[in-house]
Chain A
Amino acid sequence: MNAIIKKIEESQIIRKGAAPFRVGDTVKVSLRIKEGEKERIQAYEGVVTAIQNKGAKMKFTVRKISYGVGVEKTFYYQSPMVKEVKVTRSGKVRRAKLFYLRGKLNKKDARIQENKKGAKVPQEGAVESAQAEAPAAAAEETKA
């Protein structure tokens, strides 16, 4: 990559270090929503089904079932619009992309086994923490 482009991309990185989540994890994304002058935070929670690119261009896709309809949203991990990404449950999956979840609308079909070692996922340098993960996981599971 061109040195100038590399420098520009590095200057865009606001969340340093490795992302605190992996594909299969359930995450809660806090989004900044601007309404006129005011800014509010909107939460979006679901399963990470894909991670694309690295560095400043890193994107992740979060899938959830909303009122019986599958919804997928893709976010830039380095976007200033994303305030925080919090892991609420760590999942154990054997795929890099969970496209097989598409079309599985009922809870039983779209179930992901919990990763018991998930709490040990390296968290260094990230703004998020997964400390609250273990107790919250059971509750979130039923909700998701």
Chain B
Amino acid sequence: MSENVKTLIGKKIGQTTFFEESGKATHVTVLEVGPCVVIQKKTQDKEGYNALQLGFGERKEKHTSKAQQGHFKKSGATPKRILQEVRVDDATPYQVGQTLTVENLKDVAWVDVAGVTIGKGWQGVVRRHGFTGGRNSHGSMHHRQPGGIGASSDPSRVYPGTRMPGHMGANKHTTLNLKVVKVDSDNNLLFVKGAVPGADGGIITVRPSVKK
């Protein structure tokens, strides 16, 4: 397998304590990564860019639309739950229907993991933006309020981007530079040190670290 694709789709399993070979106890997150099937190749000539469309996780045929069934059939793969595109420098070494596993990340020491963070619902400014809030006693009637949101007649408006209450969480977030503790190819598992975004069972993407 070529070197340039290593971004894979996976699932967050959960966190635990793991004893490394040195005997050191490490906090790890266990990820089920792959196997991902190449469903479609996108090339410079046809689509204007090079990418692979990867499928991950099984889906029953009766839950797949006719149009999608045809799309999967073309690659010779069974219907997949997740379809995601991964950019590559050159798509020619890959065949449609080829399977990419966690084995691809075997020599990688550091990874970035992207996922959707846990949704917190509608939150106030104290929780959402870390405002200090007012004091609770001594006649204070200003507890968890946002306070001023701008000047008065000039500019006569609230600047866009002013931090206010609103929906928090459920955003895409990438955690950079997580150390790979163990790669278990038999069970498609990847152990990384530290936390990754999202709840257990959430869909994540793993790529070799871009900053290390």
* A residues neighboring B (CB under 8 Å): 1-2, 4-5, 8-9, 12, 32, 34, 56-57, 76, 78-81
B30 CB, nearest partner CB in chain A, Å: 6
A57 to B18, CA, bound (A): 9
In contact, A32 and B189 (Cβ under 8 angstroms): no
> How far in angstroms is the closest Cβ of chain A from B199?
12
Q: List 15 A-B contacts (CB under 8 A).
A: A2-B200, A4-B30, A4-B32, A8-B16, A8-B18, A9-B17, A12-B17, A32-B23, A34-B22, A56-B17, A76-B17, A76-B19, A76-B25, A79-B19, A79-B25
Instruction: Check if B13 sits within 8 Å of A2, measured CB to CB.
Output: yes
Using Cβ atoms and an 8 Å threshold, which residues of chain B touch A12?
17-19
Q: Are A80 and B23 in contact (CB under 8 A)?
A: yes
* Per-position 1/0 for B17-44, Cβ under 8 A of A: 1110011110000101000000000000
Interface size class of B (residues with CB under 8 A): 10 to 19
Whether a CB of chain A sits under 8 angstroms from the CB of B14 is yes
Tell me, in angstroms, the Cα distance from A57 to B23 when the chains sit together. Answer: 14
The B38-82 residues at the A interface (CB cut-off 8 A) are: none
Cβ-based interface call for B187 (8 A): yes
A79 with B16, Cβ < 8 A, contacts A4-B187, A5-B30, A8-B30 known: no
Contacts of B22 in A (CB 8 A): 34
Number of A-B contacts (CB under 8 A): 40
Tell me the complex Cα distance, A9–B14, Å: 12
Contacts of B24 in A (CB 8 A): 81
A57 to B30, Cβ gap below 8 A?
A: no
Q: Find chain A residues with CB under 8 A from B18 CB.
A: 8, 12
* A32: B residues at CB distance < 8 A: 23
Pair B25/A2 contact, Cβ less than 8 Å? no
What chain A residues lie within 8 Å of B23 (beta carbons)? 32, 79-81
Residue of B nearest to A4 (CB): B13
Which 5 residue pairs of A and B lie closest in terms of their CB atoms, listed nearest first?
A: A81-B23, A80-B23, A5-B14, A2-B14, A57-B17
Cα distance A12–B23 when bound, in Å? 11
| Residues in B158-181 with C-beta less than 8 Å from chain A | none
Q: Which residues of B contact A56 (CB under 8 A)?
A: 16-17
Known: A76-B25, A79-B23. A5 touches B17 (CB 8 A): no
List, in ascending order, chain B residues with CB within 8 A of A81's CB.
23-24
Contact across chains for A80 and B14 when beta carbons are under 8 A apart: no
In the assembled complex, which residues on chain B have CB atoms less than 8 Å from the CB atom of A2? 13-14, 200
Interface string of B176-207 (1 = CB under 8 A from A): 00000000000101000000000010000000
* Residue of B13, B17, B18 with most partner-chain A CB within 10 A: B17
A2 to chain B, nearest CB (A): 5
How far, in angstroms, from A56 to B28 measured CA to CA in the complex? 13
